[in-house]
Amino acid sequence: MAKKSVGERIVAGLREFCEAIENDKPLTVRTVELDLQPSEYDSEAVRETRQLLKMSQPLFAQFLGVDVKTVQAWEQGLREPQPIARRFMDEIRRDPDHWLERLNDSVVDVANAG
């Protein structure tokens, strides 16, 4: 039996993927492989990501679930973000409008609260 070409393997994998979705089968590591290696983030990339959301460092830190000193250290090039923070920033960079909308939904008017 001849070895399948790359194209044939891709098509077969996509068929299996579509069948799983159509039949409400759970997706597992046996049916799907994800490339989730986070990008590298230097100080400028962190700052640019924060600025995509038009946020201050303290608000960006709150959004990411880290201390403001952590964001400051990232933006000063003193520390590198951990992989989970880099993955989150990758998602922000992929669709900043989604995250801006999400943030707007989360805003609490502290002047009129309570």
Angle between helices 68-75 and 57-64 (to 10 degrees): 110
The two tokens of residue 58 are 């303290």
Structure tokens at 30: 């046996």
Find the domain containing 8 and state its range: 1-34
Same domain, 61 and 89: yes
What is the count of structural domains for the chain?
A: 2
Q: What is the pTM of this model?
A: 0.68
92 occurs within a structural domain: yes
Does one domain contain both 27 and 64? Answer: no
pLDDT in tens, 36-86: 899 999 999 999 999 999 999 999 999 999 999 999 999 999 999 999 999
The arithmetic mean of pLDDT across residues 5-19, rounded, is: 82
In terms of domains, do 50 and 97 share one? yes
> In this structure, are 51 and 101 located in the same domain?
yes
- Verify that 15 and 49 share a domain, yes or no: no
